[in-house]
Amino acid sequence: MRLAVDLRPALSGATGVGLYMERLLAAMAGRPDAPELSLFCASLKERFDPQRLPAALRSRLVDRRLPVRLLNLAWHRLRFPPVDWLLGRRVDLSHSPTPMLLPCRGRAVVTVHDLFFMARPELARGEMRRQYPRLLAASLRRADGVICVSRATRDALAERLPDVAGRAVAIHLGVGGEFLDPAPTEAPPPAGLPPRYLLFVGTIEPRKNLPLLLQALLDLRRSGLAIPLVVAGGRGWGLDEYLRLRNKLGGQVLELGYVPAALLPGLYRGAAALALPSLDEGFGFPVLEALASGVPVLCSDIPALREVGGDRASYFDPRRGSDLSERLAALWRGETRFDAVAARAHAARFTWEATAAATIAFYRRLLP
């Protein structure tokens, strides 16, 4: 089986979709049933660093100097040129880690991570709000197979695009071994962290609902409980309310910006708890990474996070700040029971090896 994979979403760093594809490829590379891989990347300005790939795959990378917008336009409207042509070799199957099809002369698979821009358009902006729903629907209807990263995402897809549901499967993502390692050797966390802190990991944007958490912290401070918050993630859009509340909290909030992957395990292990107040998620890497690190999790009671956190996370209504405040105060004061060993065991069930095995099996089902 000759497989082409679109690496462009991993070009700018190992977050979200890029992390998914990097970890999936690494897990595939060590399997005897792995397909014959061709890795495609393209950009005018950026180059993909082959050192981020397993040694066995570095020679399989084809990195073209092409304008991404022009290439996307040609693929979306014309479905041309086929990636076979750009790779210089024929492929049996293509896999795009986003819902936008990677055209080829064989079969095509796409991955859907979430559908928030269709279900909650107010949480999206720009092209994602205006064009993605139409482009995604057209792409999914052309795809031979669709991978959803959770049952929650697959259920949302079935509700919005029932004609696609029969070609969709749910395949969970995994957690990196660096979070589960009982004797970690990772780099130390960033300097200047409070001795005890609450952690948030993610891009600062409306979907993450961070103002709810800041307001809860402000309410608790007024009642005499000041909880330091460390925010690990870059700034996105829709920041007005976040900035207003952050200014009120002052030094109680430490904003780190984007944190390199090598520093994340130490950052989790140093936290008293993780808080994730998201309004919508497709999977929820931070929940899994925190549990793997033996750290309590307080997160929104939404389907995807319930699916990932199971009975090892604590949940609150993301529309009720009072619910979050009460649960956060109890957790911070040590009034909430948490079994770190059981949390690690739960997270350890989510492996990239299992993700790779299920993905390869799905590929083979699609081929004649």
CATH superfamily of 177-347: Glycogen Phosphorylase B; (3.40.50.2000)
pLDDT of residue 193: 93
* Burial tier of 77 (Cβ tally within 10 Å: 0-12, 13-18, 19+): exposed
The confidence band for 190, taking pLDDT boundaries of 50, 70 and 90, is confident
**Structure tokens that stand for 322 in this block:** 């009072």
The yes-or-no verdict on residue 174 having pLDDT over 70 is yes
3-state helix, strand, coil in the chain (%, to 5): 45, 15, 35
Measure CA 222 to chain center: 34
- Does the structure show a pLDDT above 80 at 128? no
For residue 131, what pLDDT is reported?
Answer: 65
Question: Mean pLDDT, the chain, as a whole number?
Answer: 91
- Please check whether the two domains, 2-174+351-366 and 177-347, share a CATH topology: yes
pLDDT at 129: 59
For 8-22, write each residue's pLDDT tens digit. Answer: 988 866 667 888 999
Q: What are the tokens at 226?
A: 């000041």
Ranking 8-17, 161-170, 217-226, 339-348 by mean pLDDT, the lowest is 8-17
Q: Looking at residues 178-207, what average pLDDT do you find? A: 84
Q: Where are the alpha helices (DSSP H) in 30-82?
A: 68-77
pLDDT tens string 28-55 = 998 999 999 999 999 988 888 898 888 8
Query: Quick one: pLDDT band at residue 133, thresholds 50, 70, 90?
Result: confident
Give, rounded to a whole angstrom, the gap between the first and last alpha carbons of the chain. Answer: 11
Closest of 276, 271, 248 to residue 332, by C-alpha: 271
Would you state the structure tokens that stand for residue 318, as one six-digit string?
């993301």
Fold of 2-174+351-366: Rossmann fold (3.40.50)
pLDDT of residue 82: 94
- Of 70-79, 242-251, 261-270, where does mean pLDDT reach its minimum? 70-79
Residue 349 CA to residue 332 CA, distance in Å, equals 27
pLDDT tens per residue across span 238-253: 999 999 999 999 999 9
Contacts of 94 (CB under 8 A, 6+ apart): 3, 4, 5, 6, 83, 101, 102, 103, 104, 106, 107, 108, 109
In this prediction, residues 360-364 reach a mean pLDDT of: 97
List the strands of the sheet with 198-201, edge to edge: 253-257, 229-232, 198-201, 273-276, 297-300, 314-316
Question: Is it the case that residue 161 has pLDDT exceeding 80?
Answer: yes
pTM of the model: 0.92
pLDDT band at 351 (very low <50, low <70, confident <90, very high): very high
Q: What pLDDT is recorded for position 270?
A: 92
Per-residue pLDDT at 14: 60
Total Cβ atoms within 10 A of residue 15: 19
In sign, the C-alpha dihedral spanning 76, 80, 86, 88 is positive
pLDDT confidence of 143, banded at 50, 70, 90?
very high
CB 50 within 8 A of CB 41: no
List phi, psi (to 5°) of 200: -125, 135
What are the boundaries of each domain within the chain?
2-174+351-366, 177-347
Instruction: Dig out the tokens for 152 from the structure.
Output: 């929650």
Q: What is the pLDDT of residue 16?
A: 79
Q: What is the mean pLDDT of residues 215-225?
A: 96
- Residues 152 and 170: their CA atoms lie apart, in Å, by 9
